[in-house]
Structure 1
Amino acid sequence: MTTPIDQLQELGLNKYEAEAYYTLLKRGPLTGYEVGKHSKVPLSRSYDILERLVDRGLAFAQPGEPARYRARDPQHFLGQVRSSIEENLKELTIALTSLSSNDDASEFWIVRGQKNILERSRNLIAATSSQLELSMPASCTIALANEIRQARERGVQILQPANQSTNSSEDIIMLCDGSEALLGTLVPEETCQAVVSSNNALVIALNGYFENVHDMQFVSMPTTSAPIQQDVEWMDWETRKHARLRTLSERHRVA
């Protein structure tokens, strides 16, 4: 189990400095002898360690024979640490970002395993801002129902084939904002694979695929917190409605 003394060491104090600072906070003003008596700091080194705390701004010294020491407010110390960490993170972000290449739009990236494919799909849906085109089995629609609903609530236009609820394929195809694609299969669960890319040729191919799929329809999902299964049943009902309308239209033309 991690102790406060362990955590102080993680923030930059050595073992004896952490022991001395913790003891001063716990017991109040102490002499070097008392710090050594109530902590694991060797008596022979207690005054040296306490002076180092004073130099680091973590303790105050009261002159006398012997001198006494009091810990500084931990909020001051933790504030210094926080500021230092935030500054280091800013500098590191700039340094690492400058190393990464942004010229990867034509690259193909493989995602392996159903769990990882669904998680990547959730991230893509969350990043979509205007249009999302989908082709996937009903089980996948259930798994992604929350993300699809949230996208719709953001104003994203969501399209999928009207006969999607009868799709027995385990393939998943997504095109986000007409610029980023995910294409793969969801079986076998552990070894299935999908490719994610903004490659122009792949995007054009999937744009053509969705343009050629007949009876594309808007996916409308309730904005209430209804169970996911109700959402899917509603989508099935909507699909059946469109099928009936097409049948009636065809009969009318024949007549």
Structure 2
Amino acid sequence: MHNESSYSPLPSATFGDLPTSLEEFGLSKYEARAYLTMIGKGSLAASDLAYYANLPRTKVYQTVKKLEKKRLAIVSKQKPLICSAIPPEEAFGEIVNLHERRVRNMRKIVDRLQKISDEGQRPKGSEERRYFILDADSALSKISNLVASARSSITATVDVWGLRLLSQCRTQLVKAVTNGARIRVLVGAQCLGNESLSLLPDGIELRVIASNSDIISSNLMMIDMTHMISVDSSNGKAALFASLDAYGATQSKIFEEIWLKARETKGALENQPALAAKALDLAKAVENGLAAHMLEYAMNNEDPAIELLEVMDRKYGLKVAAMSIPEMLELVDSALKISCLGGLKHDRGNNIVSLQSKTEGKHVLPWAVVLASFFRHSGNEPRIMQNKQSPQIVHVRLANPIA
């Protein structure tokens, strides 16, 4: 008999949703209630279990036998039957491990299926390419080795950082030139006058980018069209591509297009950075805008002296009106070297300044007009004369000697 003043069936609220949760382990509703009651109250006679678990008496024996078969309970052999629950960790541990193994295997299957799906979605005829990330020290070492082994060509687009890297490979560059490799280097305007330029050996073709944005913010080098290195200027790390494929071919085409529009830099190598940068600005101004102003003055038979200098100062920020005559001559000489591989000569005996272009299609008449306007502004009346024997040479005869 049960002492109902001391014991009473466990209310359903005690178990919460555990009976339903245990169904995940394959237990029926009766089995779940019986097991929960046994772990809550300990070993019980079959009749007590039926009472506390609120099970029909006709079902309790069948229920505990099923729990025993599932290794969740132990039932005594003698009467009255005593039922005890196997501790949860022991009872369900093997089942949990089994399900974890199944989940891991299912994840592996899903991964394999995903790979098959990815392969199916990849464009036909495509293949995966890889590159290597190098730290700053390894990047310099790798660039040195590749440059030294170059046999056909080296092309590079560099900023100040990349220029310094190349200058540290001087010995290897000399070896590449000796081996017959053509080396072409594109630099940004910020590199003009940089001491690293003077460290590069002879035999290297140098040009400065002459687009509207002359600042290069990355470095890309291609060696023998078999290796490509991209260097990050912020930390010196590099990405090494062991094969150029389609991406490399595109970069090579871009280089060739920019190279054709770029300017020679040899004439500006000896200049100080400030002079070299100003000479480049003057060259761009004359070619991109000042020539139109000169044509307008010529058509109207106007004297371009003051107006032209004002345009140069106001629109292009060149500030040439305030320069001394030696400074102006040096600036125009540097600009001519950059613009047309030409230069400026001053014949003091005859009081003549001669301007020459060595690039076909690049005329120096606009430069003569600029210089004549400067001298007229300075109070020294000029006269422009074309050289009949050589149209690439223009003379500016001055009324007064230059001090």
Shorter-normalised TM-score: what interval? 0.3 to 0.5
Highest Rg: 1 or 2? 2
Higher relative contact order (CA 8 A, sep 6+): 1
